[in-house]
Amino acid sequence: MAAEFFRDTRAWVFDLDNTLYPPEMRLFDQIEARMTAYVMASLGVDRDAANRLRRDYWASYGTTLAGLMAVHALDPEPYLVDVHDIDFSVLTPDPDLRAHIAALPGRRIVYTNGSAPYAHRVIEARGLSGLFDAVYGVEDAGYRPKPEAAAFAQVFQRDGLDPARAAMFEDDPRNLAVPHDLGMRTVHVAPERLEATHIHHHTDDLTGFLARLVG
C-alpha cells in the first residue's frame, strides 16, 4: 500500500459497524436479532418471514429500516432506539487504533447507517471518544441510507467535505461506489478481498492499515 496515494487526503470518513470494530466482536449480531424481533412485532409476522424481510429490504433498499419506511411507512425513531438497545460490553478499547486515527491529518468523521447516539456509544466502548470532528447517523441524511447518492450528498454538504481530498473506509462494498464516483479514496475493510473498480484498497485489519499509512 502506497501512503503516497493518501498524501493529499484531509478528510477521513469511517463507517462504524464492522469497520471501527472487527466483525469477530459480533456486535451487529445483536442488532440483527433486535431488527427481526421489531419486524415481527410491528408487522405481525413470524420469525422466518421477519428474517426474510430484513434481508430483502437490506438488499433492495440499502437498510432494513429504509425498506420498512418505504413499504410500511414505519416511524424510524422508535425503531432506531429499540434495535440499538444492546450490550456494548463485547467491544474492547483499541489504543493502537486510537493513536493511528489521531495521527491522521485533517478532519476525522464517522458516518453510519445506524443512529448517531448509537455511534457515540460504540466509539466510547472502543476507547475512541474525542477523536472525531463529527459523527453522522442515518437521521442526518433524512433517514436515507448509504449507498444512496442523496444520503452522501446531504451528509457531505452538511460537513463541508471536499471529496477530492477525502477517503472512505467501509465494510459494505456497496457503500464505496458513490464515494469512488465523487473522487474519494476508497478502502474496503472486511475479512475477504473483493476486486472491484470502485475499491482502491482492501484491508482486514484497520489498525494495521492505518499504522502503515501514518508511519
Q: Are 77 and 99 in contact (CB under 8 A)?
A: no
Residue 3 pLDDT: 80
3-state secondary structure 59-112: HHHCCHHHHHHHHHCCCHHHHHHHHCCCCHHHCCCCHHHHHHHHCCCCEEEEEC
Instruction: Say what the pTM is.
Output: 0.95
Query: 144 and 79, same structural domain?
Result: no
Domain of residue 73: give its range.
27-83
Q: Are residues 205 and 106 in the same domain?
A: yes
pLDDT at 2: 63
Q: Give the CATH number, domain containing residue 41.
A: 1.10.150.450
Looking at the fold, whether 174 and 103 belong to one and the same domain comes out as: yes
Q: Looking at the structure, tell me whether residues 100 and 178 fall in a common domain.
A: yes
What is the model's pLDDT at position 63? 95
112 plus 147 within the same structural domain: yes
| Total count of domains within the chain | 2
Based on the fold, state whether residues 95 and 196 are members of the same structural domain: yes
Q: Mean pLDDT, 10 residues at a time, over the chain (215 residues)?
A: 85 98 96 96 97 96 96 97 97 98 97 98 98 98 97 97 97 98 98 94 96 88
For residues 166, 167, 173, 178, the Cα torsion angle rounded to the nearest 10 degrees is 10
Distance of alpha carbon 73 from its chain centroid, rounded?
A: 24
Q: Of 66, 83, 100, which residue sits at a domain end?
A: 83
* Cα–Cα distance, 122 to 16 (Å, whole number): 8
Is residue 96 domain-shared with residue 184, that is, in the same domain? yes
111 lies in the same domain as 47: no
